[in-house]
Amino acid sequence: MSSTDKVFAGSIPKIYDDYLVPMIFAVYADDIARRVAALSPSALLEIAAGTGAVTRAVAAALPRGIRYVATDLNEPMLAIAAQRQANDDRITWRQADGMALPFADAEFDVVCCQFGAMFFPDRVRAYGEVKRVLKPGGTFVFNVWDRIEDNALTHEASMALGTMFPDDPPRFMIRTPHGYYDRDVIRSDLERAGFLDIAIETRSEISHAPSADYVAIAVCQGTPLRNEIEARDASKLQAATDIVAEAIRTRHGSGPVEGKIQAVVIEAR
């Protein structure tokens, strides 16, 4: 993982929330919310909450009286999440590192995490922290993106950027968001952290965007992929966005865009 892969700063958090959340994250947030609600937690921890897509979905699915702590490593992302979820006294927002959770042992019934495990430098250590803060019999619910070839629009965007930077293509999407999908590796990491009852499933959905330009802005400017593009040539961010938009437009047309997305969903106890 590059040192820039975890940097969600500047205008990235707002573009992420405005563009990527409705395009690819919201449908999986609803899935996580259904799973969490079925477990009826009284104390819930969310790690890698980002701009709060899961937080909003879970909060809407749970009753009053619960305790909900939402954390993320990036304070700019949490600031947007807190602003979007104002006036919900069930939720406490806290900056926290998933590999060193600032909570007591056996404090939560459920821990959830949406598309965050790929960013943990040491996943076994992070999963060990999750197990530590879970009560006996507690459940860890999380998801990760499947391989990039099963996520059409992101794959097409990455291929298009490769034509712009043929000698050094930006590989953030392949390396990190879509770099941790091997089911055997995920199961092994969880078992090494002490989880015994592990269920893993594949979930395919369809992403929707109003236009090719929307997709290009989401991918190129609303993720740390932007950091990679600007590291190569800061003046070419818009040109890179335009190249991706044209590639998406060529394949999907000038109107609304649809593309397959696929994730791996895990429940561990």
Dmax of the chain from CA atoms?
Answer: 55
Distance CA 13, CA 196 (A): 36
Q: What domains, with CATH codes, occur in the chain?
A: 12-268 (3.40.50.150)
Task: Read off the pLDDT of residues 110-144 as tens digits, 9 standing for 90 and up.
Answer: 999 999 999 999 999 999 999 999 999 999 999 99
CB 259 within 8 A of CB 153: yes
Q: What is the pLDDT of residue 9?
A: 54
Integer Cα distance of 113 and 123 in angstroms = 13
pLDDT of residue 1: 56
Residue 5 pLDDT: 43
Rounded CA-CA distance 214/161 in Å is 16
Q: Which residues pair with 44 in a beta bridge?
A: 68, 110
Q: Which residue positions in the chain have pLDDT lower than 50?
A: 3, 5
Crossing angle, helix 123-133 and helix 183-192, to 10 degrees?
Answer: 50
The reported pLDDT for the residue numbered 85 is 87
What's the CA gap between 138 and 109, in Å, rounded?
5
**Beta strand ranges found along the chain (DSSP E):** 43-46, 67-72, 91-95, 108-114, 134-145, 198-209, 257-268
**Model-level pTM?**
0.94
Torsion angle in degrees (nearest 10) through CA of 170, 176, 178, 182: 140
At 8 the pLDDT is 61
